[in-house]
Amino acid sequence: MFWRSWHIFALLTGLSMDYYTPLEHRKHSFKEFMNEMVVKQFMDQFRDFGLELPWYWDDHFLKELDWYHHALHLGVWTWRQTAWWNPDAGVSPEERAWLEEKYPGWNDTFGKQWDVITENIRDGKPELTLPETFPMVCNMCQIPLVTPAGFLFGKLDSPEPLIVDRDGRRLLFCSEPCKWVYEQNPERFAGQLTIIDRFLSGVIQPPTVDGALAYMGLSPEEQGQDATNYAWAFVNQPARQIAG
Amino acid sequence: MALFPVQGIFEGDFVVMLIPVDDADPMSIVAEKVAHHAAGRRVAPQPGALQVRHRGQVLPDTSTVIDAGVAPLDVLQVGYR
């Protein structure tokens, strides 16, 4: 339960704290908040009750504090059409400096990916920032597989997701704990289909990004867009016109 | 010839993507299909040819998806040589 809650919490709160909150209002990074308000309290409680830490605490949970939500943010922003809010990129030069200070190595990993995105926007090619396919999704937490980001950040040994073939079905997992949760009770999750399972089984028609957006019931007016119409890409840059 | 889904990872990218290829595609085409979704979008393009890695082995450019023994939803890592 803790593990699955952590992934949802990283998705919702990690993005809000480190990318959506205006820089002048940030008091903690998400990682600092997690260490002070969650990790410490849980460890105190485990100690007080005489419990051992979960097996995944050090090698998986604590390591993900450094990189996981940054990858999710890039994913949410990239697939922003599927979001019901307008994601703020949050990567102006000042914000990037803050991210590098709080998460050393951010510039050499996520920063490089945002560099390419930023150049495309400055060059008047925002269409290159929109996806033409889907991310693969974890069969446990249902969150896109961002293992390549963890590998780039030096926290995972491989960029590849974990695979379990069972009863003629291929299941994908973003992490050892998600795979472990599944393996505790495979029958419980036998009928659970990810959005990609539905895509591949023909439930989503046509099998395109537009088809999936229609399946989600998202009209063009409801689909998420960059929150500032890409203004962040032009901070400290000569003014240039861009098609929305 | 049939549509064939694989998991594509482009070196330097952050995410595993669903990549539809054809089972008769040679690896040179598979590499381009994976790169299309990442190179120049989130990964800076580089000069030089691409290569496909499957289960730790680099696959020959002329080997097709079927010939190479790739299974549906296998992971293919694509990067510059």
Band (A238; pLDDT cuts 50, 70, 90): confident
The average pLDDT across A193-216 equals 93
Strands (E), chain A: 162-166, 169-173
State the pLDDT at residue B30. Answer: 98
First to last CA, chain A: 42
Pick from A117, A133, A135: which is nearest to B42 by CB? A117
How do residues A140-152 score in pLDDT, each as one tens digit? 999 999 999 999 9
- Is the pLDDT score of A223 beyond 90? yes
- What angle, rounded to 10 degrees, do the helices at A110-122 and A93-102 form? 170
Q: Is B32 on the interface with A (CB under 8 A)?
A: no
d(CA A179, CA A171): 9
The residues pairing with A172 across neighbouring beta strands, listed in sequence order, are: A163
Q: Which residues of B touch A199 (CB under 8 A)?
A: 18
* Inter-chain Cβ pairs, chain A and chain B, closer than 8 A: 89
Exposure on the CB side of residue A236, measured as CA atoms within 13 A: 6
d(CA A107, CA A104): 8
Return the residue in A66, A82, A114, A133 with the most chain B beta carbons within 10 A, the one to mutate for interface testing.
Answer: A133
Q: Which residues of B touch A135 (CB under 8 A)?
A: 15-18
First to last CA, chain B: 28
State the pLDDT at residue A240. Answer: 60
- Is the pLDDT score of A239 beyond 90? no
Coil, helix or strand at residue B43: strand
Residue with tokens 């070196």: B11
- Is the pLDDT score of A132 beyond 60? yes
| A85-112 CB burial, b ≥16 within 10 A, e <16 | eebbbbbbeebbebbeebbeebeebbbe
Is the ipTM of this structure higher than 0.95?
A: yes
Q: Is B54 on the interface with A (CB under 8 A)?
A: no
Band (A242; pLDDT cuts 50, 70, 90): low
Q: Give CA angle at A162 (A81, A195), nearest 5°.
A: 30
Two tokens, residue B71: 């299974």
Q: Which residues of A touch B19 (CB under 8 A)?
A: 133
How many Å lie between the alpha carbon of B55 and the closest alpha carbon of chain A?
10
The average pLDDT across A234-240 equals 82
Question: If we measure between CA atoms, which residue out of B56, B76, B54, B72 comes closest to residue B9?
Answer: B76
Question: If we measure between CA atoms, which residue out of A94, A125, A108, A77 comes closest to residue A232?
Answer: A94
The average pLDDT across A152-160 equals 98
Q: Which residues of A touch B15 (CB under 8 A)?
A: 71, 74-75, 78, 135-136, 144-146, 148-149
Question: If we measure between CA atoms, which residue out of A89, A218, A45 comes closest to residue B42?
Answer: A89
State the pLDDT at residue A203. Answer: 94
- Is the pLDDT score of A7 beyond 60? yes
Q: Is B40 on the interface with A (CB under 8 A)?
A: yes
- Is the pLDDT score of A182 beyond 70? yes
Q: Is B55 on the interface with A (CB under 8 A)?
A: no
Band (A1; pLDDT cuts 50, 70, 90): confident
**Is the Cβ pair A74, B15 closer than 8 Å?**
yes
Pairing of strands B3-10, B17-22: antiparallel
Question: If we measure between CA atoms, which residue out of B34, B74, B5 comes closest to residue A202?
Answer: B5
How do residues B15-63 score in pLDDT, each as one tens digit? 999 999 999 999 999 999 999 999 999 999 999 999 999 999 999 999 9
**Is the Cβ pair B7, A116 closer than 8 Å?**
no
State the pLDDT at residue B1. Answer: 83
Band (A241; pLDDT cuts 50, 70, 90): low
The rounded Cα A13 to chain-centroid distance in angstroms is 11
- Is the pLDDT score of A244 beyond 90? no
Q: How far is CA A136 from CA A118, A140, A199, A215, B65, in A?
A: 24, 12, 11, 17, 20
Mean residue pLDDT of chain A comes to: 95
For A130, list phi and psi in degrees, rounded to 5: -100, 145
Q: Which residues of A touch B37 (CB under 8 A)?
A: 131-133
**Is the Cβ pair A170, B13 closer than 8 Å?**
no
